[in-house]
Structure 1
Amino acid sequence: MLKSFPLETDRSGLFDITEQVAAAVNETGLTDGLVLVSVPHSTASVTVVSPWDILGLEDVHDEIVRLVPTRIDFKHQYDTPQDAAGHVKAAIVGHSRTFFLDAGKLGLGHSQKIYFWEFDGPRKRSVQVKVMGK
């Protein structure tokens, strides 16, 4: 079953979507299988990060910005330099993550949360959740 939910970002950065993903999974009524979380955007990603130290989220975001800074010498400049950098960041991080579903619970560790990673915000976005199983 495919579920989706809207997300409006107010800036570039990491946004905890764990609860929305869990709710989408619960709506399917399935309890065992695989859960694919995907974003249909070329300047955003899905990742897993520990939420316990908020500065850790900043470190993760700061490092991708350091690795792929916004600059004007990208060959592709359809929109803005931030958009071009966002394409590269999203290609590196990836547009989806897969989790197992066991007895109705997402396969996440106690120090893991699912994050939508915005590289070209603020934007109106959507997140897709595909649950396969029984």
Structure 2
Amino acid sequence: MLKNFKLQTAEHDVVKLNDEIVEFVKSSGVESGTCTIYTPHTTAGLTITSFWDPRGLEDLQDEIRRIVPTRIDFKHQHDTPQDAAGHIKSSLIGVSMSLIIENGELLLGHSQGIYFLEFDGPRNREFYVKVQSDK
């Protein structure tokens, strides 16, 4: 079972995806299996982190920007220096993840959230969720 989701991001946005993904997994009827989440963008990423303190999400983007700052001396300048930095950030963070489904639910820790990270933006974005049964 595969579903395509659309979203609109702001510059350097962090978007929580839990609600849509959890609902899709429940509606799939899969009791035991895997859930794969994927985004087909080269300046975005997917991650799991704590949702307790929203400022932690700011810290996450701040640290990613510190590790890979926007600069004009990148060898590839497809669109802008921000776009070039976004390609590197996306490669480091990753564009897909697989999660376990058991008893019809995602196995997530009590404070874990699934997030879409925008490294450019604002943009119209999408991500895919595929649920597969073990049976």
The TM-score range, normalised by the shorter chain, is: over 0.9
Is residue 76 of structure 2 the alignment partner of residue 76 of structure 1? yes
Q: Which runs of 5+ in 2 are unaligned?
A: none
Q: Which whole-Å CA distance do the structure 2 matches of 1:28 and 1:4 have between them?
A: 14
Percent identity, aligned pairs only?
51
Name 1:24's counterpart in structure 2: 24
Q: Which whole-Å CA distance do the structure 1 matches of 2:114 and 2:63 have between them?
A: 18
What amino acid does structure 2 have at the position aligned with 1:46?
A: L
3-state DSSP of counterpart to 1:115: strand
Name 1:112's counterpart in structure 2: 112
Q: Which whole-Å CA distance do the structure 2 matches of 1:31 and 1:40 have between them?
A: 27
CA contact under 8 A between 1:47 and 1:116: conserved in structure 2?
A: yes
Q: Which whole-Å CA distance do the structure 2 matches of 1:127 and 1:7 have between them?
A: 8
Residue 78 of structure 1: CA displacement? Answer: 1.1
3-state DSSP of counterpart to 1:7: strand
Report how many aligned residue pairs link the two structures: 134
Residue 24 of structure 1: CA displacement? Answer: 2.2
- CA RMSD of superposed structures (Å): 1.0
TM value normalised by structure 1: 0.96
Q: Could you list the per-position Cα deviations for residues 30-66 of structure 1 after superposition, in whole angstroms to 9, with x for gaps in the alignment?
A: 2210000110101111100101011111111100000
Residue 112 of structure 1: CA displacement? Answer: 0.2
Q: Which whole-Å CA distance do the structure 2 matches of 1:125 and 1:23 have between them?
A: 20
Name 1:5's counterpart in structure 2: 5
CA contact under 8 A between 1:4 and 1:24: conserved in structure 2?
A: no
Q: Could you list the per-position Cα deviations for residues 101-132 of structure 1 after superposition, in whole angstroms to 9, with x for gaps in the alignment?
A: 01111110001000000101110000100111
Name 1:42's counterpart in structure 2: 42
3-state DSSP of counterpart to 2:88: helix
Name 1:86's counterpart in structure 2: 86
Name 2:14's counterpart in structure 1: 14
What amino acid does structure 1 have at the position aligned with 2:130?
A: K
Give structure 1 regions of 4+ aligned residues with deviation exceeding 4 angstroms. Answer: none
Q: Which runs of 5+ in 1 are unaligned?
A: none
